[in-house]
Structures are given as C-alpha cells and as structure tokens.
C-alpha cells in the first residue's frame, strides 16, 4: 500500500476518533445522569416533610423523614442520603426506613434536574445542592449537629464525599461507589482528561478523619469492587464489607445490611450502645 494512502487512512482515523472523543465530551452528562429523565408526580408519602433547597444553581427538593418516637426537644442523629444516578428520591423512603428504626432522621436529597428539582446536574451543581441541604437540615430542631452521617451509593458516593469535604460529619458510608469517575473513561475508549465531573472520592477519603464504612458487591459489573478496595487502602479509618451480589441487587439481605450499619454507628458514637 502506498505511503500516501496509509497516511491518508491514519489521518481519517485520527479525525474520526477526534469527532468521537468530542461527542463523548459533549454527551457525557446524558450518560452519567440518566435519572434526570425519570418522570415523577404527586406529593411525598404521608409523614415526610418536603424541603426546598435553594442554591446558586436553582431550587432542589429534599424530603425529611423525621425520627421515630422522638420526645419533645430531643435532638437525634441524621443521615443525609444521596442516591444513584438512575434513581430519584421517590424510590427511597421504604429503603431508608431502616435508619429511622435506629432512631435517626433521614434527609433524602434530590439532584439538580432530577425529579421536581430545577437546574442541570453536574459535579458543581450537585455539590452546591448537597451543602445547601446540609445547612438547611441543621436548622431543624430534630437534628443533632454533632451526629450527622453522610450516606451515598453509586454516583451518590460522589455527592457524599463532596459534602464530607466541606461540612463536618460523624461518619461516612459509601455503598457501591468509586475512586473517581476517571477510570470509567476507558470503557468508552476515551482519555480520562475528557471527564468533566470527576468526583475525586479518593482524595476525600484519604483526608477524612472520621470512621468510614464501605459496602460493595463482589460481583459488581457496573462499578468493580476494586474501587472500594482501593478506597479502603487510602482511608485512615475504614472498614469494607462485601456482599456476593452485583450492583443493582445490592444488598441481598436488607436486615443484615442495616445490622452492620447499626453496629458501625454505635462504634462511631452516633448511636447509643445498648
């Protein structure tokens, strides 16, 4: 094959790849945040208090689930819950009920552009919303500001770590989360520097001084378990629990899941030891 033909083919291939990489760069938020296309309607279930969280990126919705059997004037621990990228807070109340059974309040935070929230999802807008939701929660009389637990699963681990880097908390729980989003660029045959929303959980975990509980499915095909194993090595004070399951069927046993969390939170001083 003539040299000029080879050169031309290589040039065309380089142009085609550059166009592909540009499309990945431009379309990545449609890929990362599919939950923004989930349609929701109606008010939250009875007993849940809707809260409008105002930030520079717009108004987001959060749902506050008050702690059970709270006495007048009593302050209780609060878990701030960040969901995965293919969910909305409407899916969560039943799943989060285990925290209330421990005597905790729960704040379910919606991302910008998801559900009833305005704006567009991005690392910066999600971080701003997370911080604003935290600040709003601490104004509630039910909440003990010294016993805030931040929980994030999958993409929500990025939101949880972003908040943990900016506001104090007593403990951090990450379920099926990741070191950062950069390694996922390989799956799209794209260079990592094209990633716009990095969510550098590794840096946060390495600097976080409070206890960390990591969960992961040992057969997770969406976020490989090596992500949590790496976070475990990077953390100052962490524990990793793996269940024999994939990403979307985690946890296989909700009772055991919450038993482990309760024991962890007792050791962290968030819950009273019985």
* Residues 18 and 191: beta-carbon distance below 8 Å: no
DSSP letter at 222 equals S
pTM of the model: 0.93
Q: What is the C-alpha to C-alpha distance for residues 54 and 141, in angstroms, rounded to an integer?
A: 20
Is 157:85 a contact under the CB 8 Å cutoff? no
pLDDT at position 47: 92
Please provide residue 182's backbone torsions phi and psi, each rounded to the nearest 5 degrees.
-60, -45
Given strand 58-65, what is the order of strands in its sheet? Answer: 49-55, 58-65, 105-109, 76-82, 143-153, 171-175, 212-217, 238-243
Q: Give the model's pLDDT for residue 185.
A: 83
**Residue 240 CA from chain centroid, whole number:** 17
pLDDT of 273 reads 55
pLDDT at 186: 82
Write the CB contacts of 39 (distance below 8 Å, at least 6 apart in sequence).
none
* Per-residue model confidence (pLDDT) at position 274: 46
Structure tokens, 45: 């279930």
Torsion, Cα of 198, 124, 28, 234 (10° steps): 20
Place of tokens 């045959």: 189
Walk along the chain (274 residues) in steps of 10 and give the mean pLDDT of each run: 71 76 78 93 91 91 94 94 97 96 97 95 97 96 97 98 98 98 84 89 98 98 97 97 97 97 97 70
Q: How would you class 4 by CB atoms within 10 Å of its CB: exposed for 0-12, middle for 13-18, buried for 19 or more?
A: exposed
């Amino acid at each position: 094959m003539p040299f000029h033909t080879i050169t031309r083919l290589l040039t065309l291939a380089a142009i085609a790849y550059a166009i592909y990489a540009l499309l990945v760069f431009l379309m990545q938020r449609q890929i990362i945040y599919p939950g923004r296309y989930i349609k929701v309607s109606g008010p939250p279930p009875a007993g849940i208090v809707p809260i409008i969280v105002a930030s520079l990126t717009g108004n987001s919705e959060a749902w506050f689930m008050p702690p059970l059997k709270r006495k007048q004037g009593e302050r209780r621990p609060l878990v701030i819950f960040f969901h995965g990228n293919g969910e909305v807070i409407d899916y969560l109340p039943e799943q989060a009920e285990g925290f209330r059974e421990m005597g905790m309040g729960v704040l379910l935070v919606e991302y910008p552009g998801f559900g009833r929230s305005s704006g567009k999802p991005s690392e910066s807008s999600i971080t701003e919303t997370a911080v604003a939701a935290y600040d709003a929660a601490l104004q509630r009389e039910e909440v003990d500001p010294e016993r805030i637990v931040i929980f994030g699963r999958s993409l929500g681990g990025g939101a949880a770590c972003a908040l943990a880097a900016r506001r104090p908390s007593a403990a951090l729980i990450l379920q099926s989360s990741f070191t950062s989003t950069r390694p996922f660029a390989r799956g799209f045959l794209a260079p990592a520097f094209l990633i716009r929303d990095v969510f550098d959980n590794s840096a946060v975990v390495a600097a976080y001084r409070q206890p960390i509980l990591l969960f992961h499915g040992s057969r997770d095909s969406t976020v490989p378990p090596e992500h949590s194993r790496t976070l475990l090595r990077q953390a100052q004070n962490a524990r990793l629990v793996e269940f024999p399951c994939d990403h979307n069927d985690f946890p296989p046993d909700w009772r055991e899941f919450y038993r482990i969390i309760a024991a962890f939170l007792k050791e962290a001083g968030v819950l009273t030891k019985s």
